[in-house]
Chain A
Amino acid sequence: NAGVTQTPKFQVLKTGQSMTLQCAQDMNHNSMYWYRQDPGMGLRLIYYSASEGTTDKGEVPNGYNVSRLNKREFSLRLESAAPSQTSVYFCASRPGQGSFIDEQFFGPGTRLTVL
């Protein structure tokens, strides 16, 4: 099993450009999450998908959109990138099958720089 995979690993954008970060998991998990990690800020939730077909905003959703394409894939889109979106982005998943306390499994991260 590959676990949680993210592409790309690194990306540099110019202000105003758009891009989509891809995330996929092969563990048959129901729930998927997007976080950003900034120095001194810890992990902050952008959006999550409790199950296929649903998405909800997290703590810092402004400037982002998401798509739960199917059970495996959860993408994060930046429509018009801004320097404030320079960050490391982590995708995570968890089984979400009847238990509220199961652990999250994280992808390797995407380091995004917006110039």
Chain B
Amino acid sequence: ILNVEQSPQSLHVQEGDSTNFTCSFPSSNFYALHWYRWETAKSPEALFVMTLNGDEKKKGRISATLNTKEGYSYLYIKGSQPEDSATYLCASQTGGSYIPTFGRGTSLIVHP
């Protein structure tokens, strides 16, 4: 079982702050890294999937980067809004099959 770690576990920011959090994963036999957004009382929804070292993805104010050599990905939120409050999950996938291993998530709370 891969060890996918996310930090911090939780984060409180003020509206308008920019923030970022980390997903680290074993770099050997890496295949893909997924980010999901999980709002309270809803289901996880996919944000990004990244496969190549140096990949950068962006969706509105949210962006992500990937470093497969050192085994980490950053998720950035620019100008946080209360509606960004959610748990952000990353999931790492090794080559050969689609069995992603999820991290425990970072809980983001944006205060108005």
Contacts and interface: CB of A to CB of B under 8 A. Distances in A.
Contact of A31 (B1, B42, B93, B98): B98
A70 to B, nearest CB: 21
A100 B98 contact: yes
Interface size class of B (residues with CB under 8 A): 20 to 34
Contact of A109 (B43, B45, B99, B104): B43
Interface string A23-55: 000000001000100001111110010100000
Decide if the interface of chain B is mainly helix, strand, loop or mixed: loop
A106 B102 contact: no
26 contacts: A35-B102, A40-B104, A41-B104, A42-B89, A42-B103, A42-B105, A43-B44, A43-B89, A43-B91, A44-B102, A48-B99, A50-B97, A50-B98, A58-B99, A59-B1, A90-B44, A100-B31, A101-B32, A101-B49, A103-B34, A103-B49, A104-B34, A104-B44, A104-B100, A105-B46, A106-B43
Interface in A70-115: 90, 94, 96, 100-109
Given A43-B89, A45-B99, A101 B104 contact: no
Of the candidates B32, B43, B49, B51, the one having the most CB atoms from chain A within 10 angstroms of its own CB is B43
Given A101-B31, A106-B43, A42 B102 contact: yes
Contacts of A42: 89, 102-105
